[in-house]
Amino acid sequence: MYRYDDFDHRFIDERVAQYRDQVRRRLAGQLTEDEFRPLRLMNGLYLQLHAYMLRIAIPYGMLDSTKLRKLAHITRKYDRGYGHFTTRQNLQLHWIKLEDTPDILAELASVEMHAIQTSGNSFRNTTTDPFAGVAADELEDPRPYAEIIRQWATLHPEFSFLPRKFKIAVSASKEDRAAVKMHDLGLYLHKNEAGEVGFEVLAGGGLGRTPLLAQTIRNFVPRRDLLSYIEACLRVYNQYGRRDNLYKSRIKILVQSLGAKKYAEEVEAEWQASDREAVALPETYVAEMQSAFTLPQYDRSPIDEAALQKAIAGNTAFARWVKHNVHPHKVAGHAVVTISLKEVGKTGGDCSAEQMELAADLADELSFGEVRVAYEQNLVLPHVRRDKLFTLWQRLDAAGLGSSNINLITDIICCPGMDYCSLATARSIPVAQRIAKHMAAKEDAIGNFNIKISGCINACGHHHLGHIGILGVDKNGEEVYQITLGGDAGNDAAIGTIAGPSVKSEEVPAAIDRLVEAYMKLRQEGERFPETYRRVGQAPFKEALYASR
Amino acid sequence: MLLAEDGTLGVDDWHHLSDDEPIPASGAITVSFARWQTAESTLHARADKLGLRLPNTIAPQEIAGDVSRFALIVLSFPKFTDGRAYSQARLLRTRFGYKGELRAEGEVLRDQLMFMKRVGINSFVVGERAIKENWANAFSEFDVFYQQAPDGRPWVMRQRLGPRNTP
């Protein structure tokens, strides 16, 4: 895990001091709310329905037990004893007082954390694979590059007032677990024929009211030139991106209106004209960054695999958990474990201070102190010996963290919706809870299935990419839900299509059930919903969805 | 009122010529980009200092060959959220070698000053608040920077790599 050096510590302290002074000026009336808004937003502080919301950055989802305990402490001292993990691998606290925020940022700084640029029209948290560094299908660890980008993007003098927010994701494995194609800028790490590392660069992805997938604008940018190329992408966007309409100012609209080819040409010309050497990444620097992400010293003594298999055979609940929440690790005898934050009936992504502390303890005992946040709003313990799985499961289960539903239909991605958010047009959490309750009994029979729910068109719940997506809208004062079908994240990313008229709130679970039943009847061996949908088309699903009308 | 990058306050002694005003024979003036395009030769024949008011919709490439003629380029921030002029400034300073005064005008707020200074802007049109609230402090809030920028301040990657790797 990356550790701050003297520069980073000095910087973060300067940032806290600067923010403390900004809050002082606001409280003294020297800054109007209009003037203060962009300043607080650059530190992740939103004003929501009931209180301030603070979004704490978790760079590329990496935590350790010290950081997690600090987060638990902060939720207890300054909030209501829980936090909400988001689809950008961040943590949101929803009941914050403005006067407390400088102290909270100081507490975060003490464990090398911050809330810089978790909002505002600049670079947001760079995200990556939650299995980075331990995934068996990985070409190289993407985190050193994510950290290089994080630092370079922090208070960037040229790009802190972009037309709109800007999100970057990096993936370095065969399977894209970072939903790269829904990002403003996506990076796929490749090796060329000479064995050199570089990046395929995609631009113009994003959800919101105009969902678009990012398109490749360059097949290979040598890693030495990574920053100069990203700068060229941003400079073209900063110059030509629309600023007249909030909903048309993301880079996706620029790429769409110019066409990816023309945008790529503009970037290329800008890049060729720029001084690449000024920001070139020397091999020694990349190596230094890589050395911050080495694997721990694993205990490689033999695993009693027979005992594990016996435990699996003797306990169906544990067997389910192993099946759904335990993933292959590149080091023999080890596993990557996902801790589900999607207990049926609870708010997905929410985590209490006690649960954070338990996860921190378990990380210390069983995972070299490391914890990750996945964009699916779950936690990950990346280095667990297989002979510790049973103990781990028992302790998680006792704390309400034993749900065995990763990638199943109850593992729903859901934004906070109208229960918290001032942008929302409908509630999303209660809908997710009712769907989960309704579908839980047959989730194993259904298999891999992603439902994603957003409480407004801004699509924080990624509904466009759900196998079934649900969008809450306000129709003459009533909350109704629009259903999209066939979306998919990852390598085969697809934007779902709207099925037809919206569904009333109370009818949503049964409607989802009918869609799933239709899928189970129609699917061929090994087919996930989007594949069946692409093969058979919309008609049978539309029929199932509106059967009761 | 003008705030300089060293924190001192001064007055603006330039005359900012409107497009329907005749070009005076002498005195330091700034002209709009449109005026510059139509009256370039007249302006060039004058002995006194010339400045250009560059809208943030004009790419600096458009004046790439002319930058040495200007003693002042005024960049526009119609709203503080409109950050196009940051790119203009950076390009003028680095790619097109502009050495004269680069001035920020429009919605110039205290907490944007540091970013502006870093991209090479060295004077700022500000109001009375700048004195009352001691805006000069804004320039010294940070001494750690993560980006190479026209102000030439040391930046972290190069600092970590050490002097041998300084380009």
Contacts of residue A476, defined as CB under 8 A and 6 or more positions apart, other chains included, come to none
Q: Minimal Cα–Cα distance from B28 to chain A, Å?
A: 30
| Mean pLDDT score of chain B | 94
Taking an 8 Å cut-off on Cβ atoms, the answer to whether A159 and B86 are in contact is yes
Taking an 8 Å cut-off on Cβ atoms, the answer to whether B111 and A14 are in contact is no
Q: Is residue A299 part of a domain?
A: no
Rounded CA-CA distance A218/A342 in Å is 38
Chain B residue with minimal CA distance to A149? B146
Enumerate the β-bridge partners of residue A469.
A452, A484
Taking an 8 Å cut-off on Cβ atoms, the answer to whether A14 and B86 are in contact is no
* Chains A & B: contacts with CB separation below 8 Å: 105
Within 10 angstroms of residue A280's Cβ, the number of other Cβ atoms is: 18
Chain B residue with minimal CA distance to A161? B83
Q: Minimal Cα–Cα distance from A284 to chain B, Å?
A: 8
A454 shares a domain with A315: no
Rounded CA-CA distance A202/A187 in Å is 6
- C-alpha angle A53-A56-A57 in degrees, rounded to nearest 5: 145
Q: What's the token pair of residue B28?
A: 């330091």
B69 in A contact zone (CB under 8 Å): no
Judging contacts by C-beta atoms under 8 Å, the chain A residues touching residue B87 are: 158, 235, 238-239
B131 in A contact zone (CB under 8 Å): no
A541 shares a domain with A434: yes
What count of residues does chain B have? Answer: 167
Burial annotation B26-51 (CB, 10 A radius, 16+ → b, else e): eeebbbbeebbeeeeeebeeeeebbb
B40 in A contact zone (CB under 8 Å): no
Handedness of CA A210, A211, A213, A218 (dihedral sign): positive
Using CB atoms, which residue from B84, B145, B149 is nearest to A238? B84
Rounded CA-CA distance B70/B29 in Å is 10
Contact (CB, 8 A) for A512 and A435: yes
Using CB atoms, which residue from B82, B143, B159 is nearest to A161? B82
Q: Which fold has domain B2-142?
A: TIM Barrel (3.20.20)
Judging contacts by C-beta atoms under 8 Å, the chain B residues touching residue A152 are: 146-147, 157
Handedness of CA A261, A265, A266, A272 (dihedral sign): positive
Within 10 angstroms of residue A536's Cβ, the number of other Cβ atoms is: 16
B115 in A contact zone (CB under 8 Å): yes
B112 in A contact zone (CB under 8 Å): yes
Q: Minimal Cα–Cα distance from B150 to chain A, Å?
A: 10
Q: Minimal Cα–Cα distance from A17 to chain B, Å?
A: 8
Tell me which residue has tokens 């759900």.
Answer: A466
Taking an 8 Å cut-off on Cβ atoms, the answer to whether A158 and B82 are in contact is no
Q: Provide the pLDDT confidence category of residue B166 given band limits of 50, 70 and 90.
A: very low
The number of domains in chain A is 4
A320 shares a domain with A284: no
Q: What is the pLDDT of residue A549?
A: 61
Contacts of residue A24, defined as CB under 8 A and 6 or more positions apart, other chains included, come to none
Rounded CA-CA distance A37/A185 in Å is 26
A289 shares a domain with A150: yes
Q: What's the token pair of residue A24?
A: 């002082």
Q: Is residue A404 part of a domain?
A: no
- The closest of A182, A104, A120 to A153, measured between CA atoms, is A120
A82 shares a domain with A164: no
DSSP element (H, E) containing B4: strand B2-4
Within 10 angstroms of residue B127's Cβ, the number of other Cβ atoms is: 10
Interface probe for A, chosen from B88, B111, B114 (most Cβ of A below 10 Å), is: B111
Strand-pair category, A52-56 with A45-47: antiparallel
Q: Is the pLDDT of residue B84 over 90?
A: yes
Rounded CA-CA distance A369/A382 in Å is 10
DSSP element (H, E) containing A127: strand A127-128
Radius of gyration of the CA atoms of chain A, in A:
23
Domain CATH code at residue A150: 3.30.413.10
A247 in B contact zone (CB under 8 Å): no
- The closest of A200, A152, A159, A207 to A184, measured between CA atoms, is A207
Helix ranges, A201-300 (H):
226-240, 251-258, 260-273, 283-290
Q: What's the token pair of residue B95?
A: 């790619």
Q: Minimal Cα–Cα distance from A149 to chain B, Å?
A: 10
Q: What's the token pair of residue B138?
A: 């804004």
A372 shares a domain with A224: no
Domain CATH code at residue A61: 3.90.480.20
Strand-pair category, A185-191 with A168-171: parallel
Q: Is residue A118 part of a domain?
A: no
Q: What's the token pair of residue A471?
A: 């969008």
Q: What is the pLDDT of residue B165?
A: 46
Q: Is residue A122 part of a domain?
A: no
Rounded CA-CA distance A406/A402 in Å is 11
Interface probe for B, chosen from A2, A154, A155, A284 (most Cβ of B below 10 Å), is: A155
Taking an 8 Å cut-off on Cβ atoms, the answer to whether B149 and A284 are in contact is no
Q: Minimal Cα–Cα distance from B23 to chain A, Å?
A: 31
Q: What is the DSSP string of A55-118?
A: EEB-GGGEEEHHHHHHHHHHHHHHSSSEEEE-TTS-EEEEEE-GGGHHHHHHHHHHTT-B-TTS
A370 shares a domain with A341: yes
B156 in A contact zone (CB under 8 Å): yes
Contacts of residue A496, defined as CB under 8 A and 6 or more positions apart, other chains included, come to A463, A464, A465, A466, A467, A468, A469, A484, A485, A486, A487
Taking an 8 Å cut-off on Cβ atoms, the answer to whether A7 and B144 are in contact is yes
Within 10 angstroms of residue A27's Cβ, the number of other Cβ atoms is: 12
Interface probe for A, chosen from B57, B134, B157 (most Cβ of A below 10 Å), is: B157
A454 shares a domain with A502: yes
Rounded CA-CA distance A546/A308 in Å is 47
What number of CA atoms fall less than 13 Å from residue B27's CA on the CB side? 12
B42 in A contact zone (CB under 8 Å): no
A268 shares a domain with A340: no
A284 shares a domain with A321: no
Using CB atoms, which residue from A158, A274, A285 is nearest to B161? A285
Q: What's the token pair of residue A247?
A: 């909903």
What one-character DSSP code corresponds to residue A52? E
Taking an 8 Å cut-off on Cβ atoms, the answer to whether A160 and B119 are in contact is no
Enumerate the β-bridge partners of residue A475.
A478
Q: Is residue A116 part of a domain?
A: no
Q: Is residue A486 part of a domain?
A: yes
Q: pTM of the entire structure?
A: 0.95
What is the average pLDDT across B100-118? 96
Taking an 8 Å cut-off on Cβ atoms, the answer to whether B95 and A25 are in contact is no
pLDDT per residue over A195-233, tens digit each? Answer: 999 999 999 999 998 999 999 999 999 999 999 999 999
Taking an 8 Å cut-off on Cβ atoms, the answer to whether B87 and A238 are in contact is yes
Q: Which 3 state secondary structure label does DSSP give B39?
A: coil
pLDDT per residue over A339-386, tens digit each? Answer: 999 999 999 999 999 999 999 999 999 999 999 999 999 999 999 999
A347 shares a domain with A272: no
Q: pLDDT truncated to tens, each residue of chain A (549 aa)?
A: 999 999 999 999 999 999 999 999 999 999 999 889 989 998 999 988 888 999 999 999 999 999 999 999 999 999 999 999 998 889 999 999 999 999 999 999 999 999 999 999 999 999 999 999 999 899 999 999 999 999 999 999 999 999 999 999 999 999 999 999 999 999 999 999 999 999 999 999 999 989 999 999 999 999 999 999 999 999 999 999 999 999 999 999 999 999 999 999 999 999 999 999 999 999 999 999 999 999 999 999 999 999 999 999 999 999 999 999 999 999 999 999 999 999 999 999 999 999 999 999 999 999 999 999 999 999 999 999 999 999 999 999 999 999 999 999 999 999 999 988 889 999 999 999 999 999 999 999 999 999 999 999 999 999 999 999 999 999 999 999 999 999 999 899 999 999 999 999 999 999 999 999 999 999 999 999 999 999 999 999 999 999 866
- C-alpha angle B115-B116-B117 in degrees, rounded to nearest 5: 95
Chain A residue with minimal CA distance to B86? A158
Q: What is the pLDDT of residue A51?
A: 87
B118 in A contact zone (CB under 8 Å): yes
Taking an 8 Å cut-off on Cβ atoms, the answer to whether A282 and B90 are in contact is no
Q: What's the token pair of residue A82?
A: 């829980």
Q: What's the token pair of residue A11?
A: 């910087």
Domain containing A60 equals: 6-110
Q: What is the pLDDT of residue A547?
A: 83
> What are the residue ranges spanned by the domains of chain B?
2-142
Rounded CA-CA distance A52/A105 in Å is 14
Interface probe for B, chosen from A10, A145, A156 (most Cβ of B below 10 Å), is: A156
- The closest of A495, A469, A485 to A522, measured between CA atoms, is A485
Judging contacts by C-beta atoms under 8 Å, the chain B residues touching residue A117 are: none
Rounded CA-CA distance A111/A18 in Å is 18
A151 shares a domain with A97: no
Q: What is the pLDDT of residue B167?
A: 41
Strand-pair category, A52-56 with A82-85: unpaired
